[in-house]
Amino acid sequence: MGTIKTTNIETITGSGTLTLGQSGETITIPSGVTITNNGTQTGFGGANTPAFFARLSASQNVTNNASVKAQCNTEILDTDNCYDNVTNYRFTPNVAGKYFVFGQIGMNTNTNNSVQLAIVGIKKNGTTVQYNQFDFRTNYAGQQNMVMTHGIVDMDGTTDYLELFGEIYVVAGSTYQFGGSASNNSTSFGAYKIIE
């Protein structure tokens, strides 16, 4: 209806809340206008949460030629307490949406040049949804290998869950482990919600 021209708008008291518009209205910012934020912003865009990142704190003994869940037991980040780092080692986000998921496993054996195949997979509700492998069956690799995978997974939030699994196949050796330590992320697992 009209145009108000001014250089500064403040509340009467100089503190409190200043409201523009009311419910049901649209405030339009014209093309070419720049908004500069020198304060704290809330409610804009979205948040990449729930999010978690966990790692294996010590080497985990595993069985040759078997799919084994990586027990990433040390949480580095868990914004909404959605990752179980004690019992099931699984992420249940409780918020529906698309999630960027990632995991890697450092696979170790006690014998050089013995690894035939190293596989990492992320399973959703027990079914593999992301997968990667190093296949050395024609030229056996050393005793340490790291395999990683990542992707985007659609989650319903309340019942869907994610877990990290790995498999190692060797031709020799008696010790098979997922590598882990308190100071590195050779075996780690994480996810965060994508802003849609």
156-188: pLDDT as tens digits: 978 999 999 999 888 777 778 888 776 677 899
Whole-number percent of the chain with pLDDT over 70: 93
Contact 93, 158 (CB under 8 A): no
Report residue 81's pLDDT band, with 50, 70 and 90 as the boundaries: very high
Q: What is the CATH number of domain 51-193?
A: 2.60.120.40
For residue 77, what are the contacts with CB-CB under 8 A and spacing of at least 6?
Answer: 51, 52, 53, 190
Report residue 146's pLDDT band, with 50, 70 and 90 as the boundaries: confident
Residue 48 CB burial class (10 angstroms; 0-12, 13-18, ≥19): middle
Contact 117, 133 (CB under 8 A): yes
Give the type of residue at 20: L
For residue 9, what are the contacts with CB-CB under 8 A and spacing of at least 6?
Answer: 18
Give domain limits for the chain. Answer: 51-193
Average pLDDT rounded to a whole number, residues 10-18: 78
